[in-house]
Structures are given as structure tokens and as C-alpha cells.
Amino acid sequence: MKNKLLALTASALLTISVAASANQAEGQPETAAETAAAVAPASNANFFDPNYWTAAFTAPAQQPNISTELTFNAAHPGAWMQWVDPKTHMPTHTGFMNPVSYMQFMKPQFYFEFMKPENMMAWMNPASYQVMMDPQTMNYWMNPNSYMHMADPALYKETLNPANYMVYLNPATYAGLMGSGTCDQNNPNKTLSWFGYAC
């Protein structure tokens, strides 16, 4: 009986996932000339240049996911208070249910935040914990209804959407994180990568 119930639940969630992603707009196909220009080999082959090996990779469809923006700064207590604060808990929880949000943990900017003195000092500041010490916050989390959103199927919609995993299957994502793309230092779209900059 338990296995049948689990199978029924899994099939219902899969049906919701397929239905939710069925109406997504597809990107316009590139022309043959654009495709040929994007994968054209370099005239002077340099086997030691990472760009030579990754020139055929297309840019990730969801570029903001590997940008310099960090949506969760684990080095600062303010980010953890977003989970505790009743006003910001739902958006934070919903954001973390999207697999794309975990791309930020692969970027060097996420780890550089731990070396900033201002983030370390914030942990010593009692004002950083005012939300947690608020009696209204305590009352909210003592109410069992505060946890009922875990049973809402809408919370798992992005987790079950296969499109949200495509950024991890795209070699261009990792090429950008490794800094294999040549980037002009004056380009405002440059992002810090593990071995230089990428655009």
C-alpha cells in the first residue's frame, strides 16, 4: 500500500512538472551563417590556449546564473536571517528549491566573501540577530501552520522542471567559470572566474 501511494504521488508530481514545462517558450533557432560563425576555428591554432578548445561551446541560456550577483551570501548573518524572518522565508525557500540557484556555489565570488573582514565582524554584531530575537518571529515558528508550505506542490515545481538542470549540462557554463573565454578588462559584463575573467 505504501509503495503504491509513493508511486501515485511520484507520477502526479511528474505530470505537474511536464505540464508546467510544456508551455515554455523555445528560443529562436540560429541561422546557418550565425552557427557557422560561432564554431569557426581559429586561424592560428594554439593548442595551449583554452579558447581554442572551447570556441564551439555556445553561451549558457541562463547567463545571470553565472554572473557576479550572489543571491545568498553565506558569509554574512543577514543571509541566514532571511530564512528566519517570516517576511522573507517563503521567497528564500522557493528560490532554493530551484536547482539553478546552486550555480552560485560554484563561483569564486561566493568563497571570496568569507575573506572580507566586514562579513566576519557582522557575526560579532548583536544587531545582526534582531530578527531572530524578535518575539513575533518566535511566535510565528511556534505555529505548526508555518511549516505547511512544505506540503504545497507549487514549492517543488522548479525542482521538477528538467529545464532548470540544463545549465549544469552545458559545457559553456564550466568554460565561463574557468575563465576560458577571452574578456576585455574594460567590459562591464566581465565576471571573475577561477582562472581570470569571462564575459
pLDDT in tens, 80-111: 999 999 999 998 998 889 998 898 898 888 99
Q: What is the pLDDT of residue 16?
A: 61
Q: What is the pLDDT of residue 54?
A: 55
Task: Specify burial of residue 7 (Cβ count, 10 A radius: 0-12, 13-18, 19+).
Answer: exposed
Q: What is the pLDDT of residue 2?
A: 73
Cα gap 146→160, rounded to integer Å: 23
Q: What is the pLDDT of residue 119?
A: 94
What CA–CA distances, in Å, run from 21 to 17, 62, 111, 163?
A: 6, 16, 33, 8
Q: What is the pLDDT of residue 42?
A: 43
Ranges of residues in the chain with a pLDDT under 70 are: 5-6, 10-70, 180-185, 198-199
Q: What is the pLDDT of residue 64?
A: 38
Decide: 16 and 160 in contact? Cβ < 8 Å.
Answer: yes
**148: amino acid identity, one letter:** M
Q: What is the pTM of this model?
A: 0.59
Q: What is the pLDDT of residue 134?
A: 92
Handedness of CA 198, 195, 35, 184 (dihedral sign): positive
Q: Is 162 helix (H, G, I), strand (E, B) or coil?
A: helix
Decide: 179 and 108 in contact? Cβ < 8 Å.
Answer: no
**143: amino acid identity, one letter:** N
Q: What is the pLDDT of residue 53?
A: 57
